[in-house]
Amino acid sequence: MRAALIPWSLLVLPALTGCRGSSCGQTGCLGTVELVLSSPLQEQGAYVVDIQVGAGDAARCTVTVPSGESACDQRWADPLVHPDSGLEGVVVYRTDVESLGVSVARDGQVIGGGTYKPDYERWFPNGPTCDAEPCRHALVEVGVVDQKR
């Protein structure tokens, strides 16, 4: 009789311990729009990237090349600066962006920008049956012309 109880208890054990056989992970995600410049800005100068999101939300990021000093006036934006290649773009930590305006200037002269509509990729890092909402990410190429003076 004991031999019959052991296999039955092995079937009940997973239910009692909380193991349900789910393969859902706990991976989180941070949705972004990456504003990647068409060519990195390596020329020495003071760069300003202005980003307009919607009617009244804006950010200004400043970068000094070659020192790499950088800052943005909004927490939802960060400049992408590489010590060797200079200013490469800006990451916007928002996915509610339907369109945005971008202006790139060096030493007060506009050298690029435009109006862009992000095309979001969507994915479920834990599987489509595990995540309530998909993660969203968009890559936007911002045209710049950085001519030496």
Successive 10-residue mean pLDDT values, the chain, 149 residues: 45 42 73 95 96 90 94 96 93 92 97 96 84 88 79
How confident is the model at residue 22, as a pLDDT? 56
C-alpha to C-alpha distance for 74 and 65, rounded to whole angstroms = 21
Q: Supply the pTM of this predicted model.
A: 0.78
State in Å, rounded, how far the first CA of the chain is from the last one.
Answer: 93
